[in-house]
Amino acid sequence: MGTISGFSRAVGCCLIPGGVVGEHVVHGDLAPGDTLLSVEHVTDGDPPTRVDRTAEFSITPGEHNTIENDTTDTTGDFLHVLWAKAE
C-alpha cells in the first residue's frame, strides 16, 4: 500500500496470474468498499501488451483480496490490478 503526494487516499496495486472466469486472489489489502481503479490484462509477449478490462471486474462482496471476472478467460497471462482504499 502506498500514497502519492497530493492524492487523498492510499492506493494498492498487484500483478497476479490470470485465470478462468471467476474469482482471482489479489495480494495486498483490497477490501469491500475500496474503489477498483483499473484491471489490465497483460500478455507476456515480445513486446508485452495490455488490454483494459476494468469494466469486466468487480471487488467480490464480503471478501478481502478478491476480484471477480464474469467475462474473459485470462489463463496463461497476467492481471495488473490498481485500487484506492476506502477512507
DSSP string, 56-81: GEEEPTT-SSEEEESS---TTSEEEE
Q: Which residue has the cell 498487484?
A: 14
56 within a domain of the structure (yes/no): yes
CA distance 32 to 48: 31
45 within a domain of the structure (yes/no): yes
67 within a domain of the structure (yes/no): yes
3 within a domain of the structure (yes/no): no
Whether pLDDT at 75 is above 80: yes
48 within a domain of the structure (yes/no): yes
CA distance 48 to 31: 29
54 within a domain of the structure (yes/no): yes
Give the model's confidence band at 80: pLDDT under 50 very low, under 70 low, under 90 confident, else very high.
Answer: very high
Q: How many distinct structural domains can be found in the chain?
A: 1
pTM: 0.90
DSSP SS3 for 18? coil
Buried b (16+ CB within 10 A) or exposed e, 70-79: eeeebeebbb
* Residue-range definition of the domain harbouring residue 34: 21-78
12 within a domain of the structure (yes/no): no
26 within a domain of the structure (yes/no): yes
Give tens-digit pLDDT for 29-64.
999 999 999 999 999 999 999 999 999 999 999 999
State residue 8's pLDDT score.
83
